[in-house]
Structure 1
Amino acid sequence: MANRHDQIAYRDLQVWEKSMVLANLVIKAVDEIDAPRKHFRMIEQLESAVTSIPMNIAEGKGRNSKKEFIQFLYISRSSIYETLTLLEIFQQLGWLSEEKFNDLERQAIEIIKMIKGLINAISRSA
């Protein structure tokens, strides 16, 4: 009998795993931000963008077609760019250290490359 994990295919994707790590790191970094109350909407937007990355990978993997999976991968990639833009704003405002920004940016770029590679692989096999 197959275990529960075997039936959840997105968990086998390294890009999903790495995007989960990034999401958790960004949320932990946000917890350390001491921003004025009036900027909470930006923080909520960052959390929404970064969690959208693995969620779209998982949703796309659960679709019944390669074309739909690719579309969700593009959405995921767009969420990474949104995340990076918000992180850069936070860094420029002094809410996030340059070192922390650089580390998160490096991880995000790795995920972008992985998504591009996965899109290319799926496209070739279609």
Structure 2
Amino acid sequence: MPVFELKVKCVVCYLLFDVRLNRLCCCDKGGVMYKDLKVYQSAMDLCVVIYELTRKLPYEERYGLVSQMRRCAVSVPSNIAEGAGRRSFREQVRFYYIARGSLAELETQLELCFRLGYICEQSMINTKQTYQLLNGLIRSTNRRTTNSE
């Protein structure tokens, strides 16, 4: 009796996925696995931290920095998810670049909070891991774009 492997590696993006889950890989046209991407998980964790941090900011910043920081934080995993759901690699990478722009905007707002004295240096959130993971996703998607042409 043959033994079937339940974990399959995508031949395009090399992500492992379980065939029993009836999900296709993020690079296939029929479905997405963005929730399994480390960069998506990191961006979601960052989003939660930003929401916790902005609760402590002054009330007068509720419609200013708080609102803007939360929108930026939500934009990062949202654009990763939207990009993963797109058909072409060009479309995917375009949304990953938008996510990277939102992350850079968030870093700027964190720096402003620090300079205004709203947060201390220990509260400065390290966005470096998410940024590095996102750059890796952009690089690998760009490679797939050039290979598919």
| TM-score bracket, shorter-length normalisation | 0.7 to 0.9
Q: Percent sequence identity over matched residues?
A: 28
Deviation at residue 13 of structure 1 after TM alignment: 0.6
RMSD: 1.9
After the TM superposition, list the runs of 4 or more consecutive aligned residues in structure 1 that deviate by more than 3 angstroms. 1-8
With normalisation by structure 1, the TM-score equals 0.86
Flag structure 1 segments of 5+ consecutive residues without an equivalent.
none
1:124 equivalent to 2:143? Answer yes
With normalisation by structure 2, the TM-score equals 0.74
Partner secondary structure for residue 64 of structure 1: coil
In terms of fraction of residues, the more strand-rich structure is 2
Which has the higher mean CA deviation after the structures are superposed, 6-15 or 92-101? Answer: 6-15
Q: Is the 8 A contact 2:40 2:80 kept in 1?
A: yes
| Aligned partner letter, 1:115 | L
CA distance in 2, matches of 1:91, 1:5: 43
Aligned residues: 121
Q: Is the 8 A contact 1:57 1:73 kept in 2?
A: yes
Look up the match of 2:121. Answer: 98
- Alignment partner for residue 78 of structure 2, among 55, 60, 71? 55
Flag structure 2 segments of 5+ consecutive residues without an equivalent.
1-18, 25-30
Which is greater in Rg? 2
Deviation at residue 114 of structure 1 after TM alignment: 1.1
Q: Relative CO higher for 1 or 2, CA cutoff 8 Å, sep ≥ 6?
A: 1
In terms of fraction of residues, the more helix-rich structure is 1
Look up the match of 2:132. Answer: 113
